[in-house]
Structure 1
Amino acid sequence: MLADLEESQLNLQDRLSETEERYRLFFNTGTDPVLIFRIGRDGTPGKFIETNLAACRLLGYSRGELLAMKPADVIAPGDAAALGDRLHEILVKDHSLFETALVGKNGWVTPVEVNAHFFAHMGWTAVLVMARDITERQEIERLKRDAFRQIEKNMEQFAILNDHIRNPLQAIVGLSLLNASDDEVTEKILAQAEVINRIADQLDRGWNESEKIRDWLRKYYDFQ
């Protein structure tokens, strides 16, 4: 009977070890950083109690170093003041999705999108944080904004250039017709004026195409 009980306990320990190993493997093979910290009895964030390899790589700390730190130690100074509000939102809504920035060991700041959830852990309230590096996404958004501003600048230049071309052109054509003493010269002037007019028409079409692109960006990307 005792032998059966001991064997059962050993089997249970083996299964627990196997489950823990599978959990550890799953936890550390994720590409997004994951950090877990407890909420203190006073409601403030405590030290990290777990972290995966992706978080260590992103921040440049070892697992041991991170487990001796708190969330405020890795959040960018400009975002640290909002930590209390974020924590309150997590506890009230069970989760929170927001953007912030993390500071690594070398001082490098990485913008991240944080998906945070709270759960019970051994009688404590804990928060699981999954952070996704959005450096590339922010760079793409910056390029979009720059392109939008360039489009508006081009449209303004198109309009100014068009006026600068058409107004003198109309004056030249008018004077040529009023002083048409030499038909051949007048014909040449009018022919060249038509060439310039076609160039101005191309500027008009460029302005119209730019306006369409600008309106599309405003509609789908909320650019102003």
Structure 2
Amino acid sequence: MPDSRAIVILTGAGISAESGLETFRSADGLWANHRIEDVCTPEALARDAALVHRFYDLRREALATVVPNAAHDALARLERAWAGDVLIVTQNVDDLHERAGSRTIIHMHGELNSALCAACDRREPWSGSLPPGAVCPSCGAPRLRPDIVFFGEIPYQMERIEEALAGASLFASIGTSGAVYPAAGFVRMARSMGVETLELNLEPSAGSGWFDDCRHGPASLLVPRWVDELLAQP
């Protein structure tokens, strides 16, 4: 049975863009100089591991230069103060939610500061450069790769996400394009189960028509206002 106080929040690149991180899908974003097929597919890793590893090394370097913004801070404040459960499901591979203080987070597309062993499937915290052939501390195989869900791979913890949506009273989508599945389908899943839905985005997303309420503008302005509204409820 849905929890009348449980909230599931999906976040995308738009929430981190205001911290200075490039988005993947903007005209001048990360993919502008790289084809997706060159840096974010299993085939790319097999074909040119050095290019793929270097691409994510650069993303890791860029992440170290930015800090959470007001939207990240507001979501952490919501988690601390809200009477029910708050789950953040993020499409982002950065750690800005964690640095802002959020604790209940699912990184459905992986994490930059993590390495995945292709031999034993263990994950290791990672910072700095991750060269091809890096040795797994767990099994000793030289098979560490970026812990990123490549196109064509299954996002992490889908069963847990679906269970959380089924038990929520509110689903909010923040800073997402509405173009990447399966995350783009969460709003329809939530609506089919009678969950209230809200979009907070810089502009209408590809899925705006599915939301009960849409508010458009910078996340750093919209999210703190929305959190203030929620926390003012009796």
Please give the range of the TM-score, normalised by the shorter of the 2 chains.
under 0.3
Query: Which has the larger Rg?
Result: 1
For normalisation by structure 2, the TM-score amounts to 0.19
Instruction: With the length of structure 1 as denominator, give the TM-score of the two structures.
Output: 0.20
Q: Which has the higher contact order (CA 8 A, sep 6+)?
A: 2
